[in-house]
Amino acid sequence: MSKAEPRTVSLPKDGSIRASVIRPILNYFAQEKSDLARLLRQSGLSPLVAEDPYAPIPLPAYLTLFEGAAAMTGDPLLGAKLGHAIHPADLGPLGMLVAQAGSVRRCINVFTRFTNALQTATAVSLLDSAETLLLAYRIEGAPLSLRRQDNEFTLACICGLIRSSFDARWRPLEVHFEHEANAQATALQRLFGAPIRFSQSVSRLLVNASDADLIRKSEDTALVELIETHLRDLLAHTGEPANLSEQVHTLIRLQMSVQRSNLETLAAGLGIPPRSLQRRLAAEGTSVRALLQQCRMQMAQTMLAEGQVSIEHVANALGYADGTAFWRAYKSWTGRAPSHRRYA
């Protein structure tokens, strides 16, 4: 049977990736056909899944595949190792565009702009302060237990692509992960070459802004334009955009603990006037205050239920001044102390 011709297939909004994203996993098991077949079967995927790199794969199947691969190999660092070993071609047009970038900032901008061309139900945001770039990444709607490998793989991919494009010695300032530390935390830190903080509100890379702005090579503008046109076409086939409430909710999560979310900062992040944001949210029956409370409550319940983290840690991750302020807020939401949820 001949391989299918690549197509521009619409990517469903509610959690899908393009088949090209799983190429590093498939390549890793290239010499272990029986193991690969079992992994694909357990994830509900066809053995022919990679024949069309543009074909959509349900996001839960991808996440299950990655976690299953790590379990099968007995290597909790599989995702991070595959990410650091990534080649631009492994990520298709997104990887090729990153390889053309003339600066680290440009690499990060490419990832921020075009990740959703390859996977949906995924929030990516770049927060630019005077001295630091904060690239936040989060898959929405999937339990944290299924996202460890993908989180580590994705942030490692970005670091790996920057190193292969510019300088093998490049390192981020800091790395944050939503999940808890495990026995491999020290080894993971060595892979990234930077301090790692676990049990954070979102997974993110912190990058030196002045270093990111250095022009390190010239770009082939004609090729860049060609690849960007293709990626914009893929973006046009990713389903209907989220409503404004969903966009604000996502942005709050990405800003949490690194920037105070309010009407002004959220409007700036969405590129619309504050009054317009306020008016449009009211038309959807909500407000910035209501969405902020909803987001904090959801994140608090997740962190308290899934990890043995301190109240002070949760308070800091959610942007509260201290544990007492968080305790009072949680009590007002639920009528119970946060310790009830933590030990339930």
Confidence at residue 140, expressed as pLDDT on a 0 to 100 scale = 87
Q: Distance between CA 8 and CA 92 in Å, rounded?
A: 13
User: What CATH number should be reported for the domain whose range is 244-342?
Assistant: 1.10.10.60
* Long-range contacts formed by 228-232: CB under 8 A, 24+ apart: 228/97, 228/114, 230/93, 231/93, 231/94, 231/97, 231/113, 231/114, 231/117, 232/117
Q: And the tokens for 23?
A: 């190429």
Confidence at residue 2, expressed as pLDDT on a 0 to 100 scale = 39
> Is 260 within 8 Å of 319 (Cβ atoms)?
yes
Distances in whole angstroms, Cα of residue 231 to Cα of each of 116, 149, 218, 226, 330: 9, 25, 21, 9, 43
pTM of this structure: 0.81
Confidence at residue 277, expressed as pLDDT on a 0 to 100 scale = 94
CA 189-193-195 angle, to 5 degrees, is: 55
- pLDDT (tens place) for every residue of the chain, 344 residues total: 334 444 455 566 568 999 999 999 999 999 999 999 999 999 999 988 878 898 899 999 999 999 999 999 999 999 999 999 999 988 989 999 999 999 999 999 999 999 999 999 899 999 888 799 999 999 988 999 999 999 999 999 999 999 999 999 999 999 999 999 999 999 999 999 999 999 998 999 999 999 999 999 999 999 999 999 999 999 887 765 568 888 888 888 888 877 788 999 898 888 889 999 999 999 999 999 999 999 889 888 888 886 667 888 888 888 888 889 898 988 888 888 887 655 55
CA 321-324-330 angle, to 5 degrees, is: 100
Domain boundaries, the chain: 75-212, 244-342
